[in-house]
Structure 1
Amino acid sequence: MKIVKQPPTAKLPAEWFTGDAWADVILRGEDPSRARANLVRFAPGARTAWHSHGLGQTLYIVEGVALIQSRGGEIVEAHPGDIVHTPPGEEHWHGAAPDRFMIHLAMWEGDDTAWLDHVTDAEYNGPRVSAKR
């Protein structure tokens, strides 16, 4: 067993995020592990750009109200304790509701994230459905 020294909290880049978001690296597995986990904090209205992960991604909502959408799908509103999985290669975005901070634990494998275009305000402000249908 060892205590792992973590890097400092990082402000996430405007190339990949609209608004303010910060990440703390929880896990960056060493070979042969490809496991990754970040605790990500979003200011109200902040969100990722459209992106996909080669092996998928799982989000565990820790605090606040999360908005998540797959390309062509509905915006899903998720709350603390909800778990959302996007399969390999599925284009999606996630972020905070306009009036709430949001924290999620993002888990994925490898470094093959494909970053795409930013989510427009019209896309972000589209109709929502609850994760608890």
Structure 2
Amino acid sequence: MAKFEEVKDGVIFPVGDKNDAYAKYFVGQSYLKNLITDPKINVGVGNVTFEPGCRNNWHIHHDGFQLLLVTGGEGWYQEDGKPAQFLKAGDTVVTHDGVKHWHGAAEDSWFEHLAITAGTPEWLEPVSDELYNQLKKSISK
């Protein structure tokens, strides 16, 4: 049984639907509930939920940024060329314009965060299983 099973029902905001629109940019299943989609502003806010082991591809935000507010479960965030950061509820991440990065669930845990995003994403290659599997071994709970 995975840790933080309650996350699959939504912690603060609804979990949303299967993230089919962006499925090709994820390894595993994610869910998305768009919370703010005002076309008059260049900022979107979404509740993103990851099943255990799910992660998005490497990506870059151009002409903007991304803020992550972790609301449940356990996961990872990594910028290219830097060590991965283990994330849990209450953690925050600031990703500046032009920084290549990825984020997603720990192998054995559901994971949920609010993503506050401005600008245009450029989706890149998947996070390799080799890299991801090394992260799983680097934390013992």
TM-score (norm 1): 0.84
Task: Indicate the residue corresponding to 2:107 in structure 1.
Answer: 98
AA of the residue aligned to 1:61 = V
Report the count of equivalent residues.
120
Task: Indicate the residue corresponding to 1:19 in structure 2.
Answer: 28
Task: Indicate the residue corresponding to 1:65 in structure 2.
Answer: 74
Q: Is the 8 A contact 2:27 2:126 kept in 1?
A: yes
Deviations 1:56-112 (A, max 9, x none): 1010000000201001111100110110111101000000000000010000113x1
> Which consecutive segments of 4 or more residues in structure 1 shift more than 6 A?
none
Task: Indicate the residue corresponding to 1:120 in structure 2.
Answer: 128
Task: Indicate the residue corresponding to 1:39 in structure 2.
Answer: 47
Shift of 1:20: 0.5
Give RMSD over aligned pairs. 1.5
Q: Is the 8 A contact 2:43 2:116 kept in 1?
A: yes
Shift of 1:11: 2.1
Distance 1:104 1:125 in 2: 22
Question: 1:87 aligned to 2:96?
Answer: yes
Q: Which runs of 5+ in 1 are unaligned?
A: 1-7
AA of the residue aligned to 1:117 = E
TM-score (norm 2): 0.80
Q: Is the 8 A contact 2:23 2:30 kept in 1?
A: no
Question: 1:29 aligned to 2:41?
Answer: no
AA of the residue aligned to 1:52 = I
